[in-house]
Amino acid sequence: MICVLVKYSEIALKGKNRSWFVGRLVRNLHGALAGLHIKEVRTLIGRIEIVLGQDEALPEVGDRLSRVFGIAHYSVATRVPPDFESMAAAIESQLPPKEAAESFRVHVRRADSKFPIPSPELARDLGSRVWTARGWKVDLDHADLVIRVEIIPGSAFCYVGREPGLGGLPMGTGGRLVGLLSGGIDSPVAAWRMMKRGCNVTLVHFHSAPFLSNTSQEKARQLAEVLTRYQLRTKLYLVPFGELQRQITLSVQGDLRVIIYRRLMLRIAQRVASHVRARALVTGDVIGQVASQTLDNMAVIDQAAQIPVFRPLVAMDKEEIIAEAQRLGTFGISIVPDQDSCTLFTPRHPETHARRYAVDEAEKTLPVDTMIKTAVDSAVVEQLSYPRA
Which residues, 6 or more positions from 232, have their beta carbon under 8 angstroms from its beta carbon?
Answer: 28, 31, 32, 171, 385, 386
- DSSP characters for 203-248? EEEEE-TTTS-SHHHHHHHHHHHHHHHHHSEEEEEEEE-HHHHHHH
pLDDT in tens, 156-201: 999 998 999 999 999 999 999 999 999 899 999 999 999 999 999 9
Contact at 8 Å (CB) between 273 and 178?
yes
- Pairing outcome for strands 155-160 and 145-152: antiparallel
Per-residue pLDDT of the chain (389 residues; tens, 9 = 90+): 889 999 999 998 898 999 999 999 999 999 999 999 899 999 998 899 999 887 667 889 999 999 999 999 999 999 999 999 999 999 999 999 999 999 999 999 999 989 999 999 999 999 999 999 999 999 999 999 999 999 999 999 999 989 999 999 999 999 999 999 998 999 999 999 999 999 999 999 999 877 777 888 999 999 999 999 999 999 999 999 999 999 999 988 888 899 999 999 999 999 999 999 999 999 999 998 888 889 999 999 999 999 999 999 999 999 999 999 999 999 999 999 876 655 556 667 787 888 999 999 999 999 999 999 999 999 999 999 999 76
User: What pLDDT is attached to residue 209?
Assistant: 79
Q: In this predicted structure, what is the pLDDT of residue 186?
A: 97
Express as a percent the part of the chain with pLDDT over 70.
97
Separation CA 258–CA 245 (nearest Å): 9
What H or E segment, with its residue span, contains residue 56? none
Sequence-ordered list of residues with C-beta below 8 angstroms from that of 190, at least 6 positions apart, any chain: 179, 282, 283, 284, 310, 311, 312, 313
Q: Tally the residues of the chain.
A: 389
* Domains defined along the chain, listed by start: 2-164 (3.30.2130.30), 176-385 (3.40.50.620)
Residue 45 CA neighbour count, 13 Å, CB half:
13
Predicted TM-score (pTM) of this structure: 0.92
* Alpha-carbon gap, residue 182 to 187, rounded angstroms: 6
